[in-house]
């Protein structure tokens, strides 16, 4: 199975240099980046290290996923965001899960043995909202094993599964849309426990309230979609 590792970036020059050396680039046949229009030297940093960078016509993570799939012929594709939240040591495990028969492999921050950024405090609004969206998706669509982290972007997918899901979401909600469609199609979703780290610099572009509204709308649209 041909493997591609995709690095997703939008202005990550503060965190990227601190993580780049830990990315197991030899775990994939091909490593490239999809960039949402960085203007802080991110693209130059990657290019100087031999990583090919594909641009996007429109911004957003959803768009980035589709650009990535169009840019490779690999059968197994893992998406990695180098901002500190994701542990690069989990990348080989995601590829192995896909090779072991998973259609989609998710690094879960919610399952037994995992750690969520908010687990250090008793007040965990992001985690609770995430769990609520997960519960809604599982209740509505899942007939297989419960998927604990339907939203995490740290995941891998098989090309044929991606084509069947055909997610059209533009931004941060693409992962949730993929999870719902995978469940509905009866695809095999495998999760691996991960430890979520802190952002190592730079800025988040996922503001909670607008992102939450987009999630609600996407959930509604998937519920109304004909099978
Ligand atoms: N290719 C691409 N990557 C993007 C785009 N927008 C965000 N990203 C990357 O996607 C990853 C996740 O975005 P974040 O802003 O960190 O969102 P988040 O992880 O929910 O927020 P934090 O908890 O603050 O890190 C980061 O590596 C971003 O650089 C985009 O339009 N295109
Ligand atoms: Mg992040």
Whether 205 is in the pocket of ligand 1, judged by its Cβ within 6 Å, is yes
β strands within 10-133, DSSP E: 30-35, 52-55, 76-80, 104-108
Q: Which atom of ligand 1 is nearest to the CA of 81?
A: 27
Q: Which atom of ligand 1 is nearest to the CA of 211?
A: 20
* Strands of the sheet with 30-35, listed across from one edge: 52-55, 30-35, 3-9, 76-80, 155-158, 104-108, 189-193
Q: Is 81 in the pocket of ligand 1 (CB under 6 A)?
A: yes
Q: What is the distance in A from the centroid of ligand 1 to the CA of 198?
A: 13
3-224 CATH pick, 1.10.1200.10, 3.40.50.1970, 3.90.550.10, 3.30.1300.10: 3.90.550.10
Candidate from 82, 199, 206 with most ligand 1 atoms within 8 A of CB, to mutate: 206
Assessment of whether the complete model's pTM goes beyond 0.85: yes
* Residuewise pLDDT in 10s, the chain (227 residues): 999 999 999 999 999 999 999 999 999 999 999 999 999 999 999 999 999 999 999 999 999 999 999 999 999 999 999 999 999 999 999 999 999 999 999 999 999 999 998 889 988 988 999 999 999 999 999 999 999 999 999 999 999 999 999 999 999 999 999 999 999 999 999 999 999 999 999 988 888 899 999 999 999 999 998 77
Residue corresponding to tokens 């995490």:
152
Enumerate the domain spans of the chain: 3-224
Residue linked to tokens 């591609």: 4
Ligand 1: atom nearest CA of 171 is: 31
Residue 20's pLDDT is what? 98
| 143 C-alpha to ligand 1 centroid (Å) | 30
- Indicate whether residue 130 lines ligand 1 (CB < 6 A): no
Q: Which ligand is nearest to the CA of 11?
A: 1
* Residues, beta carbon < 5 Å, ion ligand 2: 83, 85
CA–CA gap between residue 81 and residue 96 (Å, rounded): 19
Q: Name the residue with the closest Cα to ligand 1, atom 9.
A: 9
The 10s digit of each residue's pLDDT in 24-83 is 999 999 999 999 999 999 999 999 999 999 999 999 999 999 999 999 999 999 999 999
Rounded to the nearest angstrom, the gap between the alpha carbon of residue 85 and the centroid of all alpha carbons in its chain is 11
Q: Please return the burial class of 41, using the count of CB atoms within 10 Å of its CB with bins 0-12, 13-18 and 19+.
A: middle
| Ligand 1 in reach of 9 Cβ (< 6 A) | yes
């Amino acid at each position: 199975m041909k493997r591609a590792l995709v690095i997703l970036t939008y202005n990550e020059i503060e965190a990227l240099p601190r993580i780049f050396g830990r990315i197991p680039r030899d775990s994939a046949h091909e490593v490239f980046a999809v960039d949402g229009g960085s203007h802080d030297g991110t693209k130059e940093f990657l290019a100087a290290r031999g990583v090919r960078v594909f641009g996007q016509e429109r911004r957003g993570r959803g768009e980035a996923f589709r650009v990535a799939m169009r840019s490779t012929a690999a059968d197994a594709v893992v998406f990695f965001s180098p901002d500190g939240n994701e542990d690069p040591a989990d990348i080989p495990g995601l590829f192995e899960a896909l090779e072991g028969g998973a259609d989609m492999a998710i690094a879960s921050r919610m399952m037994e043995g995992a750690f969520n950024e908010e687990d250090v405090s008793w007040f965990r609004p992001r985690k609770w909202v995430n769990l609520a969206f997960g519960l809604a998706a599982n209740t509505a669509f899942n007939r297989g094993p419960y998927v604990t982290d339907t939203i995490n972007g740290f995941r891998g997918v098989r090309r044929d599964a991606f084509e069947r899901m055909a997610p059209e979401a533009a931004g941060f909600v693409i992962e949730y849309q993929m999870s719902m469609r995978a469940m509905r199609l009866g695809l095999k979703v495998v999760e691996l426990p991960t430890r979520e780290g802190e952002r190592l610099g730079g800025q988040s572009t996922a503001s909670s309230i607008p992102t939450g509204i987009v999630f609600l709308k996407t959930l509604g649209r998937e519920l109304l979609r004909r099978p």
